[in-house]
Amino acid sequence: MTREMGDRMVADDRFKLLSFTGSPAVGWRMKNRAGKKKIVLELGGNAGLILDKSANIEWAVKRAVTGSFAYSGQTCISVQRMFVHEDIWDEFMGKFVAAAANLKVGDPMDPTVDVGPMVDVANAQRTQEWVDEAVAMGGTLLLGGKAQGTFFPPTIMTDVPATARACSSEAFAPLVVAFKFSTMDEAIHRVNDSDFGLQTGVFTSDIGDAWKAFSELEVGGVVINDIPSYRIDHMPYGGVKDSGQGREGLRWAMEDMTELRIMVLAWPQ
C-alpha cells in the first residue's frame, strides 16, 4: 500500500475504525486526521523495570537479560530503563553485566547467536549518537556502546540524565540505562517520569509493594516478577500517555472494534 492510499483510508468516513501499530509521531498524526473514527493506537515505549531489594536476583538477572537484548531490543516493550534497589545494586549489576557480556552477537540464522543486527545501518548509527550523547552528558558505559555496521552490541549505561534521549525517548535498540533507588515510592515516581506508559516489570517478594506498584504505575500493564516484555495473545495489551490508547489481545481487540447497541422492547399494557 502506498502512503497516498493510506492517507486516503485514514480520512475516508466510510471506514469506522483506525487501528495502528507503530511510532508515536505517526500514530498521533493519523489520529488528528481520522475525523470521527474510533481509534486504537499501539505505539512506542521506554519500558521500565524495577528490582526491589526482595527480588530473586538470579531469576531477575536471567529475565532482565532477555528483556533487554532479545530481538536486539527492537520491540516496544524492551527493557530500556532499569531501577535497582541500592541494597542489591552491586550484586545484581555485577551479574547482569557479566551475563550480557557473554551474549553472542552475529548472524541470527546461527542458532548459537543471541543478538542479531538492527534493522538497518541508519538505526545502528542513531543508537550510537544517543549513546555518545549520554556519555557527553555524564553517563558511564559499563558494556558495549560501539556500532559495527548494522550490529550494535548489548549496551549498559549508568549515571545518565533523565533528559538524555537514551532515557526520555524510545531507543528500540539493545540499550539499557540503569539507576539506583532507595524506596519503592522513588522507583515508581521515576518510572512514571516519562511521556510513555506501556508496560513495567517489577521484581519483588513483597506483596504490598506489588500491589502498590500496580496501583500507582502509570502504564497499561504491570508484570510482577517478570519483564515488561512479557506478552501473551489473550491478555489486554496496550498503553497510556504517548504509548497509545485502546487494547490489543483477542477479546479486547474485538471489544474495541465493536459498537455497542441496545434494543429496548416494550409491550403495550
Catalytic residue annotation:
42, 76
Number of other CB atoms surrounding residue 214 within 10 Å: 15
Ramachandran angles phi, psi of 147, nearest 5°: -75, 145
Q: Residues near 200 by Cβ (< 8 Å), separated by ≥ 6? A: 47, 48, 49, 50, 191, 213, 217, 219, 221, 222, 223, 228
Distance in angstroms (rounded) separating the CA atoms of residues 246 and 238: 6
The contacts found for 182-185 with CB under 8 angstroms, 24 or more apart, are: 182/85, 182/86, 184/50, 184/52, 184/209, 184/212, 184/213
Are 63 and 95 in contact by the 8 Å Cβ rule? The answer is no
Residue found under cell 538477572: 61
Listing from the earlier edge strand, what are the strands of the sheet with 199-203? 140-143, 155-158, 175-181, 81-85, 48-51, 199-203, 221-224
